[in-house]
Amino acid sequence: LRIVKGDDKVRWYSTQKVRRGFCSICGSSLFFDPLDQHKNDWIGVALGAIHGATNTTLKIHIFVADKGDYYSIADGLPQNQQ
Ligand SMILES: [Zn+2]
């Protein structure tokens, strides 16, 4: 991950398995970065943090078993319980 602007505004908090990046100004969650790069060669980026069009679409819902009971997912996409 290379932040091209505003990296001084990101605060990182780590556990044994992951580090999470938050905006130090408003507290928004920005990044989810698994620390074991051998198992996980990806970094989660909060799409709400992107200005303008994301040019992406959803492919799957994950951790559906943990979603709030106050809404349903009815877009027809695959749903993984975990
Ligand atoms: Zn912010």
In which band, very low, low, confident or very high, does the pLDDT at 26 lie, cut at 50, 70 and 90? very high
pLDDT, the chain, mean: 92
CA nearest to 46, candidates 11, 70, 79, 20: 20
Predicted confidence (pLDDT) per residue in 54-67, tens digit: 999 999 999 999 99
Question: Which residues lie at CB < 5 A from ion ligand 1?
Answer: 23, 25-26, 28
Output the CA 6–ligand 1 centroid distance in Å. 10
Instruction: Identify whether the C-beta of residue 30 lies closer than 8 Å to the C-beta of residue 23.
Output: yes
Predicted confidence (pLDDT) per residue in 41-54, tens digit: 889 999 888 889 99
The predicted pLDDT at position 33 comes to 93
Output the CA 81–ligand 1 centroid distance in Å. 31
Q: Which long-range contacts (CB under 8 A, 24 or more apart) does 29-37 make?
A: 31/1, 33/1
